[in-house]
Amino acid sequence: MNKKRIVVAMSGGVDSTTVAALLKKEGHEVIGITMQILDYGDAEGGCCSLDQVVDARRGADQIGIPHYVVNFTEEFENLVLTDYVEKYRSGKTPIPCVLCNQHVKFDLLMKRALELGAEYLATGHYARIEKGNGNALTLKRACDESKDQTYFLYTLTQKELGRLMFPLGALTKDEVRELAREMNLRQADKPDSTGVCFVPTGNYRDFLVSRGAFTEREGEIINTEGVVLGSHKGVFSFTLGQRRGLGIATGRPMYVTEIEPDTNRVIVGEEDKIYGTKLLAENLTWINSTYIAGRLENKVKVKAKIRYRHSASDAFVTINKETGALVEFENPQRAITPGQAVVFYDEDEVLGGGWIKEVLKS
């Protein structure tokens, strides 16, 4: 076996700890690194908390590898949190995990790994990296579809893929936990972290208010005919497709169909009003940049996902320029949401993706 120096991004959970243990067992020189991306006082109970750092260090000690903590709090603030706040301010719904992966984990942390002389950065993501045609690398869905995380990884390019390892991509979550038990890892039965790491309570509204990003401002809730149905205390409290917590009584279910930050209005309608078939995407990234060669202005058939838990659906993508695309679904999709990502697949291979800029009327 060719022994390699590998940095493992350790979060303190079972996945990354198992990755480190497996690589060490295979005979590689393994170094554990944990990112500090928030002030510990602001991350109580979340996966960015001091408890998680302690768990990561204990896991590294048990495995017998060195462990370091790198402070990326300023970079995380500028690259992820600022965008998170601005998206809500503009009536969009952000997805910070994509930006964190793109700018923090697979850029800043990758650079730190290379500075340590590592050949690879390994993480506990459920995804697969394989060789495709020629020398190109491909990103593929995890074998455990229920844990697949490729939706959050579409910004990876050939440069990053050549330095990354996803050792869990061919395993199920149950298999990972069983391996952890076999190696007597203390994290074997540790519950998974859920939700946005810097909003451990799940109440993003309170998080935004606590940062001074928003103040309560009363506005109207109207239906699609313009009839006022009630009031709200801030448009940032709503997302497209939302049904619960609207604070209105109409005798039938109503859903958020549009958010207007400029007028401070929330528009609601019946369920059929939240379906759409067309969107504009911006800031596209392609896993293999040669993919778009010869495809400009042509319709390309793909499977597309508009959110993490969304089932990929048949769609046509027209790439009108290298940074933009029109996406047309064969069947209406529920609550296409600006600020989220749209990710393109060919079977189990990730082609790329972009940010949903606008939903077009059919």
Which residues are part of the catalytic machinery? 100, 197
φ and ψ at residue 113, rounded to 5 degrees = -65, -45
For the chain, the helix, strand and coil percentages under 3-state DSSP, each to the nearest 5: 30, 30, 40
The partner residues of 67 in beta bridges, in order of sequence, read 32
Per DSSP, the chain holds a count of helices (H) and strands (E) of 9, 17
Q: Give which of 120, 195, 125, 124 is closest to 153, Cα–Cα.
A: 125
Edge-to-edge strands of the sheet including 228-232? 228-232, 219-223, 265-269, 255-260
Helix (H) or strand (E) holding 146: none
Q: H helices within 164-236, ranges in order?
A: 173-182, 204-210
φ and ψ at residue 292, rounded to 5 degrees = -85, -5
Check if the beta carbon of residue 36 is closer than 8 Å to that of residue 69. Answer: yes
- Angle between the 50-63 and 14-25 helix axes, to the nearest 10 degrees? 20
For residue 321, give both structure tokens: 């320029």
- Rounded CA gap, 219 and 25, in Å? 59
